[in-house]
Amino acid sequence: MVWVKYLQKLGKALMLPVSCMPICALLMGLGYCLCPAAMQGGDISGAAAGIGFFLIKAGGALIDNIAWLFAIGVGIGMSEGNDGTGALAALVSWLMIITLLNVDTVKTLFPSEAENSSRILAFSKIGNPFIGIVAGIIGSVCYNRFHKTKLPDWLSFFSGKRAVAIIAGMLSIAVSFVLLFFWPLIFSGLTALGHGIEKLGPAGAGLYAFLNRLLIPFGLHHALNNVFWFDTIGLGDLTHFWAGQTSADVIWSLGMYMSGFFPCMMFGVPAAALAMIGCAKPAGRKVAMGILLSSAICSFVCGVTEPFEFSFMFLCPVLYVFYALLYGIVTFVTVISGFRAGFCFSGGVTDLIFSASLPAAEKTWLILPLGVMAFVLFYAVFRFMVPKWNLKTPGREDEEYELPAEIPETAGSSGGKYAVMAGTILQGLGGAENVLSVDNCITRLRLEVKDMSKVNDRIIRSSGAAGVIRPGKNALQVVIGTTVQFVADELKQLCNAPAPAGGTAEESTGDSGSADHTEAIPEKPRTPHRRVAREDMQPIMDNIYSPADGELIPMEEIPDPVFSAGVMGECVGIMPENDVICAPISGTVSMVAVTKHALSLRGEDGKEILIHVGLDTVNLNGEGFKVFVQEGDKVEKGQQIMKADIQRIRERGFNPMIIVVQIES
């Protein structure tokens, strides 16, 4: 549905301002350690206290202005191409709304409002994250709709992007007029919800935690978080906690809407992951471990749970409801116990350490017994429910299991490792011609494709992705983890790679979703190139020798835009004469594709070499290929590592060209 897709995009955009919060935890946590007088009262003297006070103020600069961050973050995050013009328009909208709807302006325009305390209270809270999100949406909508607007010549200076902020300002005036009447109603509804749950005490905190997890698949948990974490209606558990206040300064037990997430994320999620690994089928256990262990570590350290949650929430929604219920139960017990901690980002061990010095933190040592309780509870429920109801958690799906291809580690940047991963994902998406858009949130690729029938989940998962989600007709999400930005960057480069001379990408690569597409070998006669052989003493690239006998094809003539544009690195093609494929260098096997059509070697000098046999041959699912090595094996230059049935590859309509790539690091 369109609105669900829009909310998911909004959820992704909100991650940008939220990602600014960990620096607050770091600065303020250290600051309160160095300057306890900032929270206890008394004179602030001495170098250490001065530095601590300085750090507290630095962290507070972001906490106190979180609404501004939401406006700008949503403005840029929801604009096409993440253009900064959308952020500028959002800032214009934000300033316009909070100025037109502040208490003094409202009293001047409507003197009678001065006697209406509930409406005045609503307008006194107008500068909140909720309105920041509204301003961000206005800014991005104006950018997406009007950034290509052409005006008459005498107004041409204001054409295009220069028109966006002006239109956003005018629209904000209209929105402010509407909010003049409706904001008090919205505020009253949010207040009723928030204070209704707040009056339930620990049970309310548990109910909030349950709803928080339950709404994650729809992206609606952000709206709920604004009520309880930020000062939208007068609560603001997060903002007050990090401002150095205590429960004596507010009407609720400060930290109660954050504390319960710590035992769940630090201990409950790893326990559930361990239970699912134990319940996996023997053939699928390695797959489950590959997906779940990294997710568990991510949850424990920084409280990022999406890789874990999205690995099963759509496979078995009933289990996910119980998972959300466990959050509610553990939060209820945590609040009763008196444990209080806060986070700027999420409930991992990092935020626990930095929040422990804040004045509202209490009994943080209880994280150990609470963690044991959460571990036992999550483990027992998952270990019982998964086999009892035959739930299809990772490693239990009804398919043949093979270990996902391990991506070779490349130090220093997003180089070879993420390029290979993105290349495999692109093959699973049906090729660049099937991809309409590439975006990402904090842990997932968010994609639009032309034809969903061309998407091969198995190939995508073989890249090392934790899962594939299909939330809409043409919408696709691939769960990667916290390194998703690097994969997204590589995937965008692959999708934008120019087509080779003489044809479009679609013409040259064919339809990768079909096994009977026309062969990609150029039909026009061309001048033969130099013949190479496995025993040649002359390298085909820098100290790289031919892995096969055949005709050497220059990079720019390879009929695949991913390779011909050099996106993955310098490469050459070889049109093979026989089935034997040997190692072009001496080194270690660092990756063998699940579909056996490709493998990579790491040389003794750290050089990463990919041997990719055929174009689009991933669709053969291993048919016609035999690999004689496995990951970790040592090989010598000239040693046979693979056999490919070239004749069968041709008969199936695929180009058998062997591509040798020196992966950029």
Over residues 407-453, the pLDDT tens digits come to 333 333 344 678 888 888 988 898 888 998 888 765 678 888 988 88
Which of 311 and 363 is assigned the larger pLDDT?
A: 363
Q: Kindly indicate the confidence band of residue 2, based on its pLDDT and cuts at 50, 70 and 90.
A: low
Q: What is the Cα–Cα distance from 433 to 195, expressed in whole angstroms?
A: 51
Q: Which of 299-303, 467-471, 517-521 has the lowest mean pLDDT?
A: 517-521
pTM, two decimals, is 0.53
**Do 381 and 421 lie in a common domain?**
no
Q: Which of 496, 518, 552 is the last residue of a domain?
A: 496
Q: Over the Cα atoms of the chain, what is R_g? A: 29
pLDDT of res. 411: 34
Count CB atoms within 10 A of the CB of residue 508.
Answer: 20
Q: Write the DSSP symbol of residue 556.
A: G
**Do 238 and 274 lie in a common domain?**
no
Highest mean pLDDT among 127-131, 288-292, 515-519: 127-131
**Do 174 and 35 lie in a common domain?**
yes
pLDDT of res. 136: 92
Catalytic machinery residues? 441, 612
Q: Is residue 503 part of a domain?
A: no
| Per-residue tokens: 9 | 């995009």
Q: What is the Cα–Cα distance from 139 to 158, expressed in whole angstroms?
A: 17
**Do 28 and 95 lie in a common domain?**
yes
Q: Which of 244, 270, 289 is the last residue of a domain?
A: 244
pLDDT of res. 400: 43
| Per-residue tokens: 341 | 């901690």
Q: Which of 447, 472, 496 is the last residue of a domain?
A: 496
Q: Is residue 42 part of a domain?
A: yes
Across 356-365, average pLDDT: 91
**Do 180 and 40 lie in a common domain?**
yes
Contact between 596 and 624 under an 8 Å Cβ cutoff? The reply is no
pLDDT of res. 32: 72
Tell me which amino acid residue 378 is.
F
Q: Kindly indicate the confidence band of residue 658, based on its pLDDT and cuts at 50, 70 and 90.
A: very high
Q: What is the Cα–Cα distance from 561 to 26, expressed in whole angstroms?
A: 45
**Do 231 and 329 lie in a common domain?**
no
**Do 231 and 283 lie in a common domain?**
no
Q: Is residue 154 part of a domain?
A: yes
Q: What is the Cα–Cα distance from 448 to 1, expressed in whole angstroms?
A: 13
**Do 194 and 70 lie in a common domain?**
yes
| Per-residue tokens: 462 | 């073989």
Q: Is residue 467 part of a domain?
A: yes
Q: What is the Cα–Cα distance from 358 to 347, expressed in whole angstroms?
A: 15
Q: What is the Cα–Cα distance from 308 to 324, expressed in whole angstroms?
A: 13
Q: What is the Cα–Cα distance from 580 to 620, expressed in whole angstroms?
A: 18
Q: Kindly indicate the confidence band of residue 3, based on its pLDDT and cuts at 50, 70 and 90.
A: low
**Do 488 and 618 lie in a common domain?**
no
pLDDT one-digit tens code per residue, 181-197: 888 888 788 778 888 88
Count CB atoms within 10 A of the CB of residue 168.
Answer: 29
Nearby residues of 111 by Cβ (< 8 Å), 6 or more positions away: none
**Do 621 and 551 lie in a common domain?**
yes
Host domain of residue 296 = 261-388
Q: Write the DSSP symbol of residue 612.
A: E
**Do 378 and 427 lie in a common domain?**
no
pLDDT of res. 217: 66
pLDDT one-digit tens code per residue, 209-233: 999 898 876 655 766 777 888 777 7
Q: What is the CATH number of the domain that holds 469?
A: 3.30.1360.60
465 three-class SS: coil
**Do 133 and 57 lie in a common domain?**
yes
pLDDT one-digit tens code per residue, 361-393: 999 999 999 999 999 999 999 999 999 888 878
Q: Is residue 112 part of a domain?
A: yes
Q: Is the pLDDT of residue 164 over 60?
A: yes
Handedness of CA 466, 472, 476, 482 (dihedral sign): negative
Q: What is the Cα–Cα distance from 237 to 197, expressed in whole angstroms?
A: 13
Query: How many structural domains compose the chain?
Result: 4
